[in-house]
Structures are given as C-alpha cells and as structure tokens.
Copies of this chain bind each other. A is one copy, B any other.
Amino acid sequence: MKVQITASDLIQMEQRKRAHLINSVGGFKSVCLIGTVDKIGQTNLAIFSSIVHIGANPPLISFIMRPDSVERHTLANILETGSYTINHLNASIYEQAHQSSARYAKEVSEFDATGLSAEYKGNCKAPFVKESNVQLELDFKQRIDLTINNTIMIIGEIKNIYFPEGCMQEDGFLDIEKAGTITCSGLDSYHLSKSLARLPYAKV
C-alpha cells in the first residue's frame, strides 16, 4: 500500500514542504556548477540541478533558471558574454558547491566565497571550476521563456569537454562514476553512484 499525495494536498501544503517534495519526485538529477563572468571580469558561480541533454548533433544542453533568484547573475553574464562553463560536482567539493546557492551580492564572487578555484582554459571567457573533474565549455544559443511559470530555459552548444584520462570508453561513453561525479535529489541531498550495468541497445 502506497502513500498518496493528491493535487489538493499539494495546494494546502506549506510552501517550503511542497518545494522539498516536488523537487524530489522527479528522480535523481544532474548537479553542476555553472561558471560565468561579466564584461568587467567579475566572476560568478551557481549550482544548478536542471541540466538536460537536448541533442548530440549539434551537441546541445539546456538548464532551467528562476528569474527571481541569485541565478540572475548567471543569466546576465551569459547574455553579456555568450559564454559559460558546466562543471560536475564530486564528493570533495559538494559542500562548497552547495554554499554557492546562498544569496551573495553581485560584487561577491562565489569562487571567493566558497574557496573553489577559477580556472581559465583556451579561448573560453568564462571560468571553469578547477576542482571539478568533468568540465564543459558552452556557447549560449537560445533563451526560451517558459510563460507557464516565468522560468527561463537556456540552451547552449558544447565547445570543449575536459575529463580525467581513462574515463572515456571505446564507444564514446564517458564513465562519470569513475570520474567521481555525484548526483543529487531534492533541494539539498547529494549522492554517490554505484554502477549496476550498461545494457545493450534494445531490439524488438
């Protein structure tokens, strides 16, 4: 026998409790730090758990942001420079990464506030997180305003991928568990992974 939470239970639920529940029910999530910089060199770092694969060719990734939150610095910087980085979390940095969600003022860099290190590579304007094992450089491609609740979807194209040696398998699969990448659930729960199996391509 399962517990049932109905739509009317949800409406009556205290706001913070509902946020915890609804953020948990979608399953485990990708959790990454997005690094950006503004025109005058002020860096920003923010944690996101709404990263989704959009397509492999061209290589596109999206994430969702709320316009009324600290994440607005991320949006402003992406629109200003066209550049951002996505950096996977690992067990050594998830507490610092979580701390980046505090509402720091625009003039405070979350790199300084959390003790994570900005790393610059190639021609990428935006900073990477040095302590992150899997790092992506993205170019901003499209902003889609989700009118249903005023959130914003950002789509970017992957320009460079960085990961530890020995993590990519012959067929292109990147073993992010081997790279130490972690996952999250809800608003504040972090989890290691333990591989069950890779399964063959399914045929009728």
Interface digits, A60-92 against B, CB 8 Å rule (1 contact, 0 not)? 110010000000000000000000001010010
Interface residues of A in 76-121 (CB under 8 A from B): 86, 88, 91, 94-95, 98-104, 108, 113
B3 contacts A165, C-beta separation under 8 Å: yes
Interface size class of A (residues with CB under 8 A): 35 or more
> Among B98, B181, B199, which residue has its beta carbon within 8 angstroms of that of A95?
B199
Give A103's nearest chain B residue, CB to CB. B204
8 additional A-B pairs beyond A5-B161, A10-B158, A14-B172, beta carbons within 8 Å, are A3-B164, A10-B161, A17-B172, A19-B172, A21-B174, A50-B53, A95-B197, A193-B193
> Among B23, B59, B197, which residue has its beta carbon within 8 angstroms of that of A53?
B23
Chain B residues with CB under 8 Å of A60's CB are 148-149
**Top 10 A-B pairs, shortest CB-CB distance:** A27-B30, A17-B172, A20-B172, A28-B183, A24-B174, A191-B193, A22-B56, A102-B202, A21-B172, A55-B149
A24 vs B108: C-alpha distance when bound (angstroms): 32
| Chain A at the B interface: SS class | mixed
The contact sample of 11 A-B pairs, CB cut-off 8 A, is A2-B162, A2-B164, A3-B162, A22-B57, A22-B59, A26-B52, A27-B134, A173-B189, A182-B196, A191-B194, A192-B196
Chain B residues with CB under 8 Å of A88's CB are 27
> Among B160, B162, B189, which residue has its beta carbon within 8 angstroms of that of A7?
B160
A5 vs B101: C-alpha distance when bound (angstroms): 30
